[in-house]
C-alpha cells in the first residue's frame, strides 16, 4: 500500500504523495457533496464563520490561510462531534482598496475584481477548507448589494439614517474622506499625503443611539476580553454634567446680548468648576462670530482659517498650544466670576458641545494653555495627605483619591462625592444637568467614490429626498469608464447623466440620484445573515433558515476588526432585531481573534519581499502539511514565526502516521501502555481544540506517534484509527485517504470523534513529590497503589533525598499518589 514517490519533488520525504492524495479528495468531496451543508434539515446546526477576505490582486495571503485554517479545524471538529456545520466564505470586494488599485493599474474594478476572485477561489480550493461554495457571497454582485441598499432603507425608515454637514478629514490625493483611524501623524494612512479638513454633506447612521446597549450587551457574549475592552473603550461612556455659563455683558463688543445664549459645556469633572478660570470654544463653534469683539475679529478670523486646514487627529494630539481671545467673557456659575472666552484648535466640535470650561489646575492641556497665555491656575483638588493645598507646578490629574479645596462649601469633600454634590447644587440653581456622554460618534457611511453600492435615495425639488422603493432595488452601479474621483468632493457618479437623472418615485418629476456610495463596512455589517439564505432571491434572509442558523455560533477573525466591523455588525443586527426581522440582537455568540504570523523573525511585507506564498508551499509539501504547520507555529490566538525549514518536521509526522496506518494489523490485541497513551492523547486533543490550542494538540499527537512506533513496533489498528480521526480537522485529505484504506465508506468527518475512556488513560505509576521538613527534595516515580511504608522506604533509598534526612524521622505525612513529607 505504499504510494508512488516523486524523487523530483523537493518536498519528498520518502513518505506519501500529497499531490495525488489531495487532488483525489478534492474531487471526491465535490462529487459527494461532502462540504455541502444541509441547511434545511441538518441536525444540531453549527455556524462556524470566518471573516471574509478582500480579494486583492496579489492573491491569497498566508495570513488569510492561517485565519481560515483555524476556523476550519474548529468547524470540522464540531462536525465530528455530531453537528451539522456550516462554514461559508465569500469576498468583501467593494471599497477604496480595490478602487485605488484599479486606478493604479488602469483596469476597471468591474474587470479586475472577478479576476482576483477567480484566483482566490483557485487558491482556497487547494487549501482543503470545508467551505460550502454553493453559499458564497460577493459584496459587489448586484444580487448582494441590492440587500445592502435594503438595509440602508430600513435604517432610513427607522429614522436612523440622516444627512448632515460635517467636518471630515480629506485626503487631497486619494480624494476621499478618511476616518480618524486612517489618519496617521496628520497624513493619509494609504498614501502619506497631508490630510485637510473639509465640510461635506454626508449620510450618517445613528449608532450613538445604541451606545448604551452596545456597551451593556458585551456582558452577555463570549468574546475575548481584549476585544470587549477595545469595544468598551471605543464606546467610551463617561458620566458628567452639562453646565451653562452665561455670557457676561456685551463687553463693549457693540452688539446685542439678546441673541447670545449661554455657553454650554459637557464635563466629566463638575467637581472642579471652582477652578474653571477660562473657557475655550472650537474655532468652528457657531457662537464664535457673536462672541468676537470688533477689536479681536481680524485675529480670530485668521486663526479660524488656519484651523480648518488642519486634520482632526493632529488637532487632538498636537503638543503646541495656540489660541486667540474672543474679547468676551462668561460667568462661572459657581464662583460668579467673569472668565475670558478663547478659541483654540485643541477643542473639537465633534466631542461634547464644542466648548470646554478650562480647569488648568487639573488638566494637562488646559495647564499648558494657561501657562502659554498667562491665565490663572487654581488648585481645587488636593492629594489626601496635602492639607495645605500647596500651589501647583503642573496639572494635578492623578486626583481620584483627593479632596476638594478652594471650593467654598464643598471644601474637604472627596472627589467622587464632590462630583455628585456639585452637580446637584448646580442643577438646583438651574446651571446644569447630570448627563452621560459617549465617545462613540454616529457612523458616517457616505463615500464620494465610485466603487461601492449607490445609496438608494432620490432628490426631488418638489418632494425632497425620497427613498428608492424597495421593489426598485438594486440601484445598479453603472459601468462607467471614468470612475476617477476629482477635487470637487462629489462622487464620479454625478458625471454620468443617464444614471444621475431619474424620475421622482413620489411625483414622477425630474429628480436626481444620490451620488455617494456607502462605506464597505456596511457591506460587511450584515453578510453573515446572507450566507445561509443565498439563493433566496426575494428576501435578504429567509426567516425559517435564519431562525435555524443564527446567531453565528463561532466567529474567528483578525484583531484589526475588534472595533469597527464588529461594532457595526452588532448595531445593524440590533436595528433589524428592533424592526422585527431578527429574533436575536447579538450576531456572534462567540468571537476569538487569531494572532499574526511573521517569517524567520521578521514582519512579512511586500517591500521586504518575504511574504510566504501559499501556492509554493502547497506545491512542495501539500496542503495538509502546510495547514498543520501553520497551526503548529504557536498558540492560534497569538500567532508565531514561520520558519521555512520547519514544515519538514510536520510532513515527517504525517508520513509516520501514514506508515503506521498502512502497517497496522488487526491481529492480537492492542498494547495496554500504548492504549493508555492513546487515551491521554484523546483527552488532550479533545480539550485543546475548543480552546483553539491547536499547537499543543498537534504536539500531543506527535508525542503519541513516538509511543505508538517505539522500537519500530507494528501498531494495532485500534491504536491508529483514532489518530486518523483526530488529525482529520488539521490534515483532512490524508485523513480521508487513510480512513478509506481502513475500509470505511463514509467520510471521516461523518465518523464520530474518538471516545475518551478515563479508566484506560490512568497511569499505573505516579510522580510522588518528596519533601523534607516541608521543602521539596525530589520526586519519585512509584506505583499508584504504593503504601506509606513502601513510599518511605523508596524515599530513604534515594541518596538525593536521603542526604536531607539528617536525623530520626519524627512524623510522616503521606497523600497517596501525590506527596510524601518527612519531618526530621
Q: Which residues bind Zn ion (CB under 5 A)?
A: 171, 173-174, 188, 190-191, 193, 460, 462-463, 504, 506-507, 509
Q: Cβ 467 to Zn ion, closest distance in Å?
A: 12
Which of 290, 268, 276 is CA-nearest to residue 352? 268
Q: Cβ 191 to Zn ion, closest distance in Å?
A: 3
For Zn ion, the closer CB: 464 or 535: 464
For Zn ion, the closer CB: 178 or 357: 178
For Zn ion, the closer CB: 49 or 174: 174
Angle between helices 694-708 and 672-688 (to 10 degrees): 170
For Zn ion, the closer CB: 463 or 802: 463
Distance separating alpha carbons of residues 737 and 733, to the nearest angstrom:
6
Q: Cβ 314 to Zn ion, closest distance in Å?
A: 15
Q: Specify the 3-state DSSP secondary structure of 710.
A: helix
For Zn ion, the closer CB: 160 or 460: 460
Q: Cβ 59 to Zn ion, closest distance in Å?
A: 25
What is the number of other CB atoms lying within 10 angstroms of the CB of residue 278?
24
For Zn ion, the closer CB: 199 or 509: 509
DSSP code string of 635-650: -TTTEEEE-GGGHHHH
Q: Cβ 469 to Zn ion, closest distance in Å?
A: 13
Q: Residue 426 contacts by C-beta under 8 Å, 6 or more apart in sequence?
A: 241, 243, 270, 273, 333, 334, 432
Q: Cβ 20 to Zn ion, closest distance in Å?
A: 49
For Zn ion, the closer CB: 156 or 753: 156
For Zn ion, the closer CB: 19 or 173: 173
Distance separating alpha carbons of residues 242 and 224, to the nearest angstrom:
35
Which of 133, 62, 56 is CA-nearest to residue 98? 56
Q: Cβ 110 to Zn ion, closest distance in Å?
A: 23
Q: Cβ 203 to Zn ion, closest distance in Å?
A: 20
Q: Specify the 3-state DSSP secondary structure of 196.
A: strand
Q: Cβ 198 to Zn ion, closest distance in Å?
A: 13
Q: Cβ 475 to Zn ion, closest distance in Å?
A: 17
Q: Cβ 442 to Zn ion, closest distance in Å?
A: 24
For Zn ion, the closer CB: 160 or 174: 174
Cis peptide before 551 (omega within 30 of 0): yes
For Zn ion, the closer CB: 100 or 693: 100
Instruction: State the Cα angle at 735 between 733 and 736, rounded to 5°.
Output: 65
> CA-CA distances (angstroms) from residue 303 to 45, 299, 338, 646?
62, 6, 24, 60
Give 26's Cβ-side CA count (13 Å radius).
18
Grid cell, residue 524, equals 460587511
What is the number of other CB atoms lying within 10 angstroms of the CB of residue 24?
14
Q: Specify the 3-state DSSP secondary structure of 656.
A: helix
Q: Rounded to an integer, what is the distance from CA 112 to the centroid of its chain?
A: 28
Which of 379, 420, 422 is CA-nearest to residue 399? 379
Give, as one character, the DSSP assignment of residue 716: B
Give 76's Cβ-side CA count (13 Å radius).
26
Distance separating alpha carbons of residues 45 and 773, to the nearest angstrom:
57
Q: Cβ 109 to Zn ion, closest distance in Å?
A: 18
Q: Are strands 263-267 and 639-642 parallel, antiparallel or unpaired?
A: unpaired
> DSSP strand E in 682-774: where?
765-772
For Zn ion, the closer CB: 76 or 449: 449
Q: Cβ 190 to Zn ion, closest distance in Å?
A: 5
> CA-CA distances (angstroms) from residue 39 to 42, 47, 84?
6, 10, 8
For Zn ion, the closer CB: 188 or 708: 188
For Zn ion, the closer CB: 190 or 643: 190
Which of 88, 73, 181 is CA-nearest to residue 560? 181
Grid cell, residue 254, equals 457693540
Q: Cβ 4 to Zn ion, closest distance in Å?
A: 54
For Zn ion, the closer CB: 273 or 460: 460
For Zn ion, the closer CB: 188 or 822: 188
Q: Residue 488 contacts by C-beta under 8 Å, 6 or more apart in sequence?
A: none
Instruction: State the Cα angle at 714 between 711 and 717, rounded to 5°.
Output: 135
Q: Cβ 188 to Zn ion, closest distance in Å?
A: 3
Q: Cβ 515 to Zn ion, closest distance in Å?
A: 18
For Zn ion, the closer CB: 134 or 465: 465
Grid cell, residue 163, equals 444627512
Q: Residue 518 contacts by C-beta under 8 Å, 6 or more apart in sequence?
A: 148, 149, 152, 203, 445, 446, 447, 452, 453, 455
To 10 degrees, the CA torsion angle through 180, 183, 184, 188?
A: 170
Which of 293, 277, 275, 279 is CA-nearest to residue 244? 279
Amino acid at each position: 500500500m505504499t504510494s508512488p514517490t516523486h524523487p523530483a519533488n523537493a518536498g519528498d520525504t520518502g513518505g506519501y504523495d500529497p499531490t495525488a492524495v489531495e487532488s483525489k479528495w478534492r474531487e471526491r468531496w465535490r462529487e459527494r457533496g461532502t462540504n455541502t451543508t444541509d441547511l434545511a434539515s441538518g441536525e444540531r446546526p453549527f455556524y462556524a464563520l470566518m471573516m471574509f477576505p478582500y480579494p486583492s490582486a496579489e492573491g491569497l495571503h498566508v495570513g488569510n490561510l492561517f485565519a481560515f485554517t483555524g476556523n476550519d479545524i474548529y468547524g470540522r471538529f464540531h462536525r465530528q462531534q455530531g453537528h451539522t456545520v456550516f462554514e461559508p466564505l465569500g469576498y468583501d470586494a467593494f471599497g477604496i482598496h480595490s478602487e485605488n488599485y484599479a486606478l493604479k493599474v488602469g483596469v476597471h474594478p468591474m474587470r479586475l475584481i472577478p479576476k482576483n476572485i477567480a484566483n482566490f477561489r483557485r487558491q482556497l480550493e487547494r487549501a482543503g477548507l470545508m467551505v460550502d461554495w454553493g453559499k458564497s457571497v460577493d459584496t459587489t454582485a448586484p444580487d448582494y448589494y441590492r440587500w445592502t441598499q435594503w438595509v440602508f432603507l430600513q435604517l432610513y425608515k427607522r429614522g436612523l439614517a440622516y444627512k448632515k454637514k460635517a467636518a471630515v478629514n480629506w485626503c487631497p490625493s486619494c480624494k476621499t474622506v478618511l476616518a480618524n483611524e486612517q489618519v496617521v501623524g496628520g497624513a493619509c494612512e494609504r498614501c502619506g499625503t497631508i490630510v485637510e479638513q473639509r465640510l461635506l454633506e454626508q449620510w450618517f447612521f445613528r449608532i450613538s443611539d445604541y451606545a448604551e446597549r452596545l456597551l451593556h450587551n458585551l456582558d452577555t457574549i463570549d468574546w475575548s476580553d481584549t476585544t470587549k475592552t477595545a469595544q468598551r473603550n471605543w464606546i467610551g461612556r463617561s458620566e458628567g454634567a452639562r453646565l451653562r455659563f452665561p455670557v457676561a455683558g456685551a463687553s463693549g463688543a457693540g452688539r446685542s446680548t439678546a441673541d447670545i445664549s449661554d455657553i454650554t459645556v459637557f464635563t466629566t469633572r463638575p467637581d472642579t468648576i471652582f477652578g474653571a478660570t477660562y473657557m475655550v470654544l472650537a474655532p468652528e463653534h457657531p457662537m464664535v462670530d457673536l462672541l468676537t469683539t470688533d477689536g479681536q475679529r481680524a485675529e480670530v478670523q485668521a486663526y479660524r482659517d488656519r484651523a480648518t486646514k488642519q486634520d482632526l487627529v493632529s488637532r487632538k494630539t498636537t503638543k503646541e498650544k495656540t489660541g486667540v481671545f474672543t474679547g468676551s467673557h462668561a460667568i462661572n456659575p459657581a464662583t460668579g466670576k467673569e472668565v475670558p472666552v478663547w478659541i483654540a484648535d485643541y477643542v473639537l466640535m465633534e466631542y461634547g458641545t464644542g466648548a470646554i470650561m478650562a480647569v488648568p489646575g487639573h488638566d494637562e492641556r488646559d495647564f499648558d494653555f494657561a501657562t502659554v497665555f498667562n491665565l490663572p491656575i487654581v488648585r481645587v483638588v488636593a492629594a489626601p495627605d496635602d492639607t495645605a493645598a500647596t500651589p501647583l507646578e503642573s496639572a494635578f490629574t492623578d486626583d481620584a483619591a483627593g479632596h476638594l479645596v478652594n471650593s467654598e462649601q464643598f471644601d474637604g469633600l472627596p472627589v467622587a462625592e464632590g462630583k455628585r454634590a456639585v452637580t446637584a447644587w448646580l442643577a438646583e440653581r438651574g446651571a446644569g444637568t447630570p448627563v452621560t456622554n459617549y465617545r462613540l460618534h454616529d457612523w458616517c457611511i457616505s463615500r464620494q467614490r465610485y466603487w461601492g453600492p449607490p445609496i438608494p435615495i432620490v432628490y426631488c425639488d418638489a418632494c425632497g429626498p425620497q427613498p428608492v422603493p424597495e421593489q426598485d432595488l438594486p440601484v445598479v452601479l453603472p459601468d462607467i469608464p471614468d470612475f476617477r474621483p476629482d477635487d470637487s468632493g462629489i462622487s464620479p457618479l454625478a458625471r454620468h447623466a443617464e444614471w444621475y437623472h431619474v424620475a421622482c418615485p413620489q411625483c414622477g418629476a425630474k429628480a436626481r440620484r444620490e451620488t455617494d456610495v456607502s462605506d464597505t463596512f456596511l457591506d460587511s455589517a450584515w453578510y453573515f445573515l446572507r450566507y445561509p439564505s443565498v439563493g433566496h432571491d426575494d428576501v435578504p434572509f429567509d426567516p425559517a433558515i435564519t431562525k435555524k442558523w443564527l446567531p453565528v455560533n463561532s466567529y474567528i477573525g483578525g484583531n484589526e476588526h475588534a472595533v469597527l466591523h464588529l461594532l457595526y455588525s452588532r448595531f445593524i443586527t440590533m436595528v433589524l432585531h428592533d424592526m422585527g426581522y431578527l429574533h436575536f440582537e447579538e450576531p456572534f455568540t462567540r468571537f476569538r481573534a487569531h494572532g499574526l504570523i511573521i517569517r524567520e523573525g521578521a514582519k512579512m511585507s511586500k517591500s521586504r519581499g518575504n511574504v510566504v506564498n501559499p501556492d509554493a508551499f502547497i506545491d512542495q509539501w501539500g496542503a495538509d502539511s502546510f495547514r498543520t504547520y501553520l497551526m503548529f507555529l504557536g498558540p492560534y490566538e497569538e500567532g508565531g514565526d514561520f520558519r521555512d525549514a520547519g514544515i519538514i518536521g510536520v510532513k515527517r509526522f504525517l508520513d509516520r502516521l501514514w506508515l503506521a496506518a498502512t502497517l497496522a494489523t488487526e491481529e492480537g490485541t492492542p498494547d495496554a501502555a500504548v492504549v493508555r497513551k492513546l487515551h491521554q492523547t484523546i483527552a488532550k486533543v479533545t480539550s485543546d481544540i475548543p480552546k483553539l490550542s491547536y499547537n499543543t494538540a498537534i504536539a500531543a499527537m506527535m508525542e503519541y506517534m513516538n509511543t505508538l512506533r517505539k522500537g519500530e513496533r507494528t501498531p494495532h489498528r485500534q491504536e491508529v484509527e483514532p489518530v486518523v480521526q483526530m488529525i482529520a480537522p488539521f490534515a483532512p485529505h490524508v485523513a480521508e485517504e487513510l480512513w478509506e484504506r481502513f475500509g470505511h465508506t463514509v467520510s471521516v468527518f461523518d465518523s464520530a470523534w474518538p471516545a475518551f475512556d478515563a479508566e484506560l488513560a490512568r497511569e499505573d505509576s505516579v510522580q510522588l513529590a518528596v519533601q523534607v521538613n516541608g521543602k521539596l527534595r525530589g520526586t519519585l516515580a512509584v506505583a499508584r497503589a504504593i503504601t506509606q511504608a513502601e513510599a518511605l522506604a523508596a524515599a530513604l533509598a534515594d541518596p538525593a533525598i536521603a542526604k536531607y534526612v539528617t536525623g530520626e524521622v519524627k512524623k510522616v505525612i503521606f497523600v497517596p499518589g501525590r506527596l510524601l513529607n518527612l519531618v526530621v
